[in-house]
Amino acid sequence: MPDKDADKSQNSLFVGTLSKGLRVLRAFDESHTSLSLAELVARTGLDKSAVQRLAYTLHVEGMLDKDPTSRRFRPSHAWLELAYAYYWSDPLIARAMPKLVALSRSIGETVNLAQMSGDHIIYALRLPNQRTQFAASIVGRRLPAIATAAGRVMLATWPQPEWETAVATWPIQAVTPKTVTDREEIRQDVEQAMRNGFTITANQMILNEISVALPIRGVDSRAQAAVQVSVSAHSFDFDRVRREILPALQDTANGILA
Amino acid sequence: MPDKDADKSQNSLFVGTLSKGLRVLRAFDESHTSLSLAELVARTGLDKSAVQRLAYTLHVEGMLDKDPTSRRFRPSHAWLELAYAYYWSDPLIARAMPKLVALSRSIGETVNLAQMSGDHIIYALRLPNQRTQFAASIVGRRLPAIATAAGRVMLATWPQPEWETAVATWPIQAVTPKTVTDREEIRQDVEQAMRNGFTITANQMILNEISVALPIRGVDSRAQAAVQVSVSAHSFDFDRVRREILPALQDTANGILA
DNA sequence: TATGCCGTATCGCATAGTGATACAATAAAA
DNA sequence: TTTTATTGTATCACTATGCGATACGGCATA
């Protein structure tokens, strides 16, 4: 029996053609919003004829739109339909939604639901306010977990050996000049989140933004999700966040318990 | 040369294996949130071995999660990542987002951005309030275009022969006992939307909900998107909607012009 | 306990998908 | 404007990938 994990393409269950098709889909991202055939070839590393066939099939199947004039491809509405199916499949989303909406309305700030996704977090629900940047308003964004308040409070609920390994090994990405990249400092923040049950960060993903997060624990006490609020550092400091945002956030997180 | 349009599977560019993989993905929807191998076989019509290979590949590629105990499959976070790429690819989203957020905050009601998608509309952005049902809070939902306020106001900006054909032939789905299914009545509503520049409906998709929508026209005056607000029929009637919601909605739509 | 169903694993086979290639169309450079 | 380069489209011979059939173990149901 072939080694299932050594090289997935050596496993006889693996369907290479489907894998290549997914590679074409994944060529599109925030910096590649529409792509020509040649660009798809470059970005996927596949042969030109293969890309022609795969892109044609994705287009016929409604996964890609093709501009008749420029002949460039771009994501279709079908990508939003997949998000729709995802939302129904994750019971936490339906439980969290009304509570996040209520919180967002009551405090007037940006509210997010983040989930652990490998060594990153992904934003599953985003309730922006008028200050929120576009990139921070849309679902599906992934950020390195240990660089974010949400990631750190989830890790803080894991067994210590696990979160310490995560802090020591997971990727760090400096997004602002003030992003903390010292792993010891991150470790201390996670440790403090263990004690406090929440964490507050500033300037990590967006300059002049303060972020406060609480974990949403599962039945085993281990969190795979967190609620998180962003506020402007021009209007808040850590003390004001603790007084004015944290109580409502704690009530919200408690009401969503997994 | 094969006839490109007669039967896509007879076209030599068409990749059947990729198409089958997409069929597996599409087996998941709001009523099928997790699926066993056998259920995937039933829902896709594919052979059991094929489904085993396709599902395995989608899992290895991170598109499906597989519960190790129940061995059921469900959508993964990758589906949200696709939505993220879609949002960047559609310039209207970035333009509309801050204006819809502002409108939502100022009137306190549910605000949506809908787009035409074949003979349906699809909700690309949704800013729910505390009353909003879950199904009306999440992106990616598709509804028959002519049954919705948003669909009708978009059609109202199309050349008359085109929208009349749409009204005569596109599918109708009765979602509530009060959903209008008479095509003549729908035609009159679209005609009125041509004159007024907006439409108001009640009880069509949700009982006791009033919906008001305005088109977002492109440079050719033809709308492929609309902004739409939902309010409770317990708190509003048509006159109150015209007085209190419509002016702000008109300002918002004007500020998003494509 | 027996039977049925489901998930997993394997195999021989044939066709589906491949990469190479040619050519038309378009873009870019001279 | 002309020439050259690049891109997109179309076709073909070939082979390896993916197929359906089948067997078997595990689990659920009767």
Q: Are B78 and A89 in contact (CB under 8 A)?
A: no
Domain with A232 in it: what CATH number? 3.30.450.40
pLDDT tens digit string along A120-132?
999 999 999 988 8
Tell me, yes or no, whether A2 lies in a domain: no
Same-domain pairing of A51 and A104: no
Query: Which residue spans within A85-138 are E strands per DSSP?
Result: 110-117, 120-127
Question: Is there contact between A16 and strand D, defined as CB under 7 Å from any strand atom?
Answer: yes
Verify that A48 and A102 share a domain, yes or no: no
String of DSSP letters for B28-44: -BTTBSSB-HHHHHHHH
Give per-residue pLDDT as tens, A194-241: 999 999 998 888 889 999 999 999 888 899 999 999 999 999 999 999
Q: How high is the pLDDT of residue B6?
A: 41
Q: Is the dihedral of CA A254, B97, B112, B26 positive or negative?
A: negative
B9 by Cβ neighbours in 10 Å (0-12 / 13-18 / 19+) ranks as: exposed
Nearest to A252 by CA among A121, A88, A127, A83: A127
Give the pLDDT band of residue A10 (cuts 50, 70, 90). low
- Count Cβ atoms within 10 A of the Cβ of residue B203 and give its class: 0-12 exposed, 13-18 middle, 19 or more buried: middle
Residue B161: inside a domain? yes
Q: How long, in residues, is chain A?
A: 258
Taking the C-alpha atoms of residue B71 and residue A120, their distance in angstroms, rounded to an integer, is 25
Predicted local distance difference test score (pLDDT) of residue A130: 87
Mean pLDDT over the full length of chain A? 92
Same domain for B42 and B96: no
Residues A210, A201: contact at Cβ < 8 Å?
A: yes
pLDDT at A50 exceeding the cut of 70 = yes
Which residues of chain B between 44 and 103 are close to nucleic strand D, CB under 7 A? 46-50, 53-54
| Side-chain-facing half-sphere of B53: CA atoms under 13 Å | 17
In the prediction, which pLDDT does B181 show? 87
* Number of other CB atoms surrounding residue B235 within 10 Å: 11
Amino acid at B68: P
pLDDT band at residue A9, thresholds of 50, 70 and 90?
A: very low
Rounded Cα–Cα distance for residues B54 and B36 (Å): 13
Looking at the fold, whether A105 and A39 belong to one and the same domain comes out as no
CA torsion, points A132, A138, A143, A149, in degrees to nearest 10?
50
Both A69 and A94 in a single domain?
no
Q: Are residues A109 and A232 in the same domain?
A: yes
Task: Specify whether A163 is located in the same domain as A55.
Answer: no
Residue A148 has pLDDT above 50, yes or no: yes
Which of B57, B80, B110 should be substituted to probe chain A, the one whose Cβ sees the most A Cβ atoms within 10 Å? B80
Q: What is the pLDDT of residue A5?
A: 39
- A117 and A35, same domain (yes or no): no
User: Is residue B2 domain-resident?
Assistant: no
Same domain, B110 and B235: yes
- Nucleotide with minimal C1' distance from the CA of B18 is C17
Question: Do the domain assignments include residue B23?
Answer: yes
Do the Cβ atoms of A84 and B143 come closer than 8 Å? no
pLDDT digits (tens), chain B, 258 positions: 333 334 444 588 999 999 999 999 999 999 999 999 999 999 999 999 999 999 999 999 999 999 998 999 999 999 999 999 999 999 999 999 999 999 999 999 999 999 999 999 999 999 999 888 999 999 999 999 999 999 999 999 999 999 999 999 999 988 888 888 899 999 999 999 999 999 999 888 888 899 999 999 988 889 999 999 999 999 999 999 999 999 999 999 999 975
**Per-residue pLDDT at A218:** 87
Inter-CA distances, A229 with A13, A119, A244, A257, Å: 43, 21, 12, 17
Q: How confident is the model at residue A257 (pLDDT cuts 50, 70, 90)?
A: confident
Average of per-residue pLDDT across A66-72: 92
- What is the residue type of A221? S
Q: Which of B80, B184, B186 is nearest to A86 (CA)?
A: B80
Residue at a domain's end among A43, A76, A109: A76
pLDDT at A2: 34
User: Which residue is the nearest neighbor of C11, CA to C1'?
Assistant: A12
Q: B15: which 2 tokens?
A: 């990749």
Provide the sign of the torsion angle of the four alpha carbons A200, A205, A209, A211, taken in this order.
negative
Which pLDDT belongs to residue A3? 38
Give the residue with greater pLDDT, A175 vs A15: A15
Centroid of chain to Cα A128: 15
Query: Among A134-148, A244-258, B17-31, which stretch is predicted with the lowest mean pLDDT?
Result: A244-258
Tally of structural domains, chain A: 2
Helices A246-256 and A91-107 meet at what angle, rounded to 10? 160
Predicted local confidence at residue B137, as pLDDT: 95
What's the CA gap between B213 and B205, in Å, rounded? 14
Question: Predicted confidence band at A258 (pLDDT cuts at 50, 70, 90)?
Answer: low
Q: Which pLDDT does position B10 carry in this prediction?
A: 54
Q: Look at residue B3 in the predicted model and tell me its pLDDT.
A: 37
Neighbouring residues of A134: CB distance < 8 A, sequence distance ≥ 6 = B94, B97, B98
- Residue (of A108, A114, A83, A81) closest to A96 by Cα position: A114
Nearest-angstrom CA–CA distance, A194 and A191: 5
Tens-place pLDDT, residues A153-193: 999 999 999 999 999 999 998 888 888 889 999 999 999 99
- Within this chain, do residues A58 and A137 fall inside the same structural domain, yes or no? no
- Determine the average pLDDT of the residues in A105-113: 94
For residue A248, the surrounding DSSP H or E stretch is: helix A246-256
Q: What is the pLDDT of residue A6?
A: 41
CA–CA gap between residue A129 and residue A257 (Å, rounded): 25
Distance B148 CA to C20 C1' (A): 52
Residue A195 tokens read as 């004690």
Say whether both A65 and A101 belong to one domain: no
Distance from chain centroid for Cα A204: 15
Do the domain assignments include residue B130?
Answer: yes
For residue B16, give its domain range: 8-76
Instruction: Say if B126 falls within a structural domain.
Output: yes
Cβ pair A82:B82 closer than 8 A = yes
- Measured over the CA atoms of residue B120, residue B124, residue B126 and residue B132, the dihedral's sign is positive
Residue B47 confidence (pLDDT): 95
Average pLDDT over residues A132-140: 93
- Token look-up 């005609």 returns B191
In a domain, residue B3? The reply is no
Give the CATH number, domain containing residue B19.
Answer: 1.10.10.10
How would you class A7 by CB atoms within 10 Å of its CB: exposed for 0-12, middle for 13-18, buried for 19 or more?
exposed
Inter-chain CB proximity A87 and B57 less than 8 Å: no
**A254 CA – D18 C1', rounded, Å:** 50
Tell me which residue of A148, A89, A137, A142 sits closest to A112, measured CA to CA.
Answer: A137
In terms of CA atoms, which chain A residue is nearest residue B132? Answer: A98
B115 domain residue, yes or no: yes
pLDDT at site B176: 84
